[in-house]
Amino acid sequence: MSADVETSLRAPQAYELARTALAAMETHKVWPTALNFELWVHYVAAKDSPLGAEIDQMLEANEPFTDAVGETLAAKFLPKQKLSSEILDTGDALSKELDSVTRAIVSARESSEAYDQELANASESLAGEDTGKIKSMVETLTQATQRVRQENQTLESQLADTTAEVGRLREHLEQTRREAMTDGLTGLANRKSFDEALEHACQQAEAEGGTLSLAVLDIDHFKAFNDTWGHQTGDQVLRYVASVIGRFGDAPRTAARYGGEEFALIFPGETARAALAMLEDIRLEVASRVLKRRSTNEDLGAVTLSAGLAERHAGEGPAALIERADAALYASKRGGRNRTSAADPIAAEAA
């Protein structure tokens, strides 16, 4: 699918594809963000593709095409989105290989130094003995070892240069990893980073018999807010909410933008009772501030959050934990919004 679409986008029919994609997006009430536009261009250009089949299935079921849906489809089908994951995997493999090469070179140098020392000791021990041929042989070997030592010194110099370059590459790789694992708008962990962190936290909790809690948070009526004030102001709200949530996300916790206007907090080693108190602090702080539109200084009013919380059960994996936290979130929505709900009755009593 990708190659055909890329060819089409470089042909005269590209403008027609773009107009068709925008018309389809308007028909189905899909916001024309850059990511959504790219997805729908691929969709109209290749409706018989796996991406086309998935979008068709959504449309037939009258499912809303949200930002979270767009991000999930992009990660699954768009080549550039897949590339970021491949970069991370390749970078890890490269780093391990460079470590292996460096250790091998250092080991060779140490072995050569030890051999040189042994020959020198042998030569000294033969001094004064009637072993001319043996001593001559050892001296010849010693000279050969000295040449090896000189070569090793050259190799060490090259190794130092290589090590410096590897350091620069690793720094660049780490920066790339941070960017690939960070949500560009809010600066929080992105969905991929969240998935990895939750998987690790569940495995650790299972292995150690520890506690783990997960919270999902959603900005109330955010679509209506975007419709009224526009996406730029909506982004301003997302950044503000993320800044509040992020203050509670210091390691070992993870604060993430889960998708669209939805956020998540992972609490390794913490009970739902403890996490619930922090969620209430976040909710109250967000609701307490009257926001202003930067461009015009107009009052936007206050935004509120609904939250759901679940404490991991023994043997429970990430998907089941997310499902229970989501159910608690929807309980908050049904209960009137601007509140926190917990999945388990015991945790709920702590509220």
Catalytic residues: 261
Q: How far apart are CA 74 and CA 36, in angstroms?
A: 9
Q: How far apart are CA 255 and CA 214, in angstroms?
A: 10
Give the residue carrying structure tokens 């920066």: 175
Cα 31 to Cα 24, 155, 171, 227: the distances in Å are 11, 58, 37, 10
Q: How far apart are CA 21 and CA 40, in angstroms?
A: 5
Q: Are 268 and 212 in contact (CB under 8 A)?
A: yes
Q: How far apart are CA 219 and CA 283, in angstroms?
A: 10
Q: Quickly list DSSP for 242-297.
A: HHHHHTT--TTSEEEEEETTEEEEEEET--HHHHHHHHHHHHHHHHHPPEE-TTT-
Q: Are 287 and 259 in contact (CB under 8 A)?
A: no
Q: How far apart are CA 127 and CA 73, in angstroms?
A: 79
Q: Which two tokens stand for residue 68?
A: 């979270």
132-140: long-range contacts, CB 8 A cutoff, minimum separation 24: none
User: Residue 313 gets which letter from DSSP?
Assistant: P
Torsion of CA 102, 108, 109, 114, to 10 degrees: 150
Q: Are 308 and 341 in contact (CB under 8 A)?
A: yes
What residues contact 80, with CB distance under 8 A and at least 6 apart?
A: none
Bridge partners, residue 309, by sequence: 215, 342
Q: How far apart are CA 267 and CA 311, in angstroms?
A: 9
Side chain identity at 26, as an amino acid letter?
E
